[in-house]
Amino acid sequence: MFFIGCHLSSSKGFEAMGKTALEINANTFQFFTRNPRGSQAKDINLQDAQALQLLLKTHHFGPIIAHAPYTLNPASADAKTRSFALQTMADDLARMEYLPGNLYNFHPGSHVGQGAPEGLRLIIEALNEILTPEQHTTVLLETMAGKGTEIGRSFDELKQILDGVKLNGKMGVCLDTCHVHDAGYSLAVLDGLLEEFDKQIGLKNLKAIHLNDSLNPRGARKDRHAAIGQGEIGTDTLSRVINHPALQNIPFCLETPNDLAGYAREIALLRSLHRQ
């Protein structure tokens, strides 16, 4: 199956996102669990969650992706900032139990000058606090561009996190094409990149792809997304990504600068480029 979708606003609730996805011919989507500042999330509406689940099943959607607020930093030097990240993520995961079997993606964090080893240690510590054997959600580490002191710009760092987490069977990785390009990996040499991923992390742990072009040259460590074909990666390379045999049946999610009509056009384009 080819699962393609985009980031959607969650302001009108769960089922509304499913209906919007259907309108633009998507069969997966991503949403923020709460506003990016990480403030209080709205109470879960059980009926709304069940309505979405029914819609996803009826229309054969792939897994959907909840995205943690990107301002959280479980690797912060400040204990309060860390505990806020922890509490927010634990609360998000409790809510995700209303939509079992899906994905929860987060940015591993920034070490803010403490050094990568300490940042990695804090992220592992946080995950060992949050994950439970009972949860029905897979928690994804997103590959990062490496701006500032971001952790997760190399497959090696992500591997170190997964190795340190006790319940790492509940975890996986979301590969963001803009981020890996900005971090220095070459998507043009896709087999090499995936071989490296497989060696370090294992391809079976690749659970989702953020499909974005990048405004900046490879290795720029910037993280500025571009629309498909409007950046330095290009349509041909992104087409090879969606068609790669090792990347079938995992959700591809656009996070390109677009309104809904723009997303609909990109989804149509990518469907036309996908060769089954």
Rule CB under 5 A: which residues touch Fe ion?
Answer: 142, 176, 210, 255
What is the 8-class DSSP label of residue 185?
A: -
Distance CA 132, CA 96 (A): 13
Helix axes 155-164 and 116-130, enclosed angle (nearest 10): 40
- Least distance to Fe ion, CB of residue 107, Å: 6
How many residues sit in the footprint of Zn ion (CB under 5 A)? 1
Residues 172-191 that bind Zn ion (CB under 5 A): none
Residues 216-235 that bind Zn ion (CB under 5 A): 223
- Least distance to Zn ion, CB of residue 178, Å: 6
Structure tokens at 267: 């989804």
Residue in 201, 112, 107, 207 with CA at minimum distance from that of residue 160: 201
210 binds, among Fe ion, Zn ion, none (CB under 5 to 8 A by kind): Fe ion
**β-strand pairing of 213-214 with 225-226:** antiparallel
223 binds, among Zn ion, Fe ion, none (CB under 5 to 8 A by kind): Zn ion
Residue in 207, 127, 197, 126 with CA at minimum distance from that of residue 168: 127
Question: Is 92 or 213 the residue whose CB approaches Zn ion more closely?
Answer: 213
Residue in 107, 130, 155 with CA at minimum distance from that of residue 163: 155
The distance from CA 205 to its chain's CA centroid, rounded to whole angstroms, is 13
69-88 residues labelled b (16+ CB within 10 A) or e (exposed): beebbbbbeeeebbebbbeb
- Least distance to Fe ion, CB of residue 105, Å: 6
Question: Is 131 or 140 the residue whose CB approaches Fe ion more closely?
Answer: 140
- Least distance to Fe ion, CB of residue 175, Å: 9
157 binds, among Fe ion, Zn ion, none (CB under 5 to 8 A by kind): none
Question: Is 64 or 183 the residue whose CB approaches Zn ion more closely?
Answer: 183
Question: Is 92 or 223 the residue whose CB approaches Zn ion more closely?
Answer: 223
- Least distance to Fe ion, CB of residue 74, Å: 14
Q: Does 157 bind Zn ion (CB under 5 A)?
A: no
Strand partners, 29: 6
Question: Is 116 or 211 the residue whose CB approaches Fe ion more closely?
Answer: 211
Q: Does 213 bind Zn ion (CB under 5 A)?
A: no
> Tokens 């979708």 map to which residue?
5
List of residues contacting Zn ion (CB under 5 A) = 223
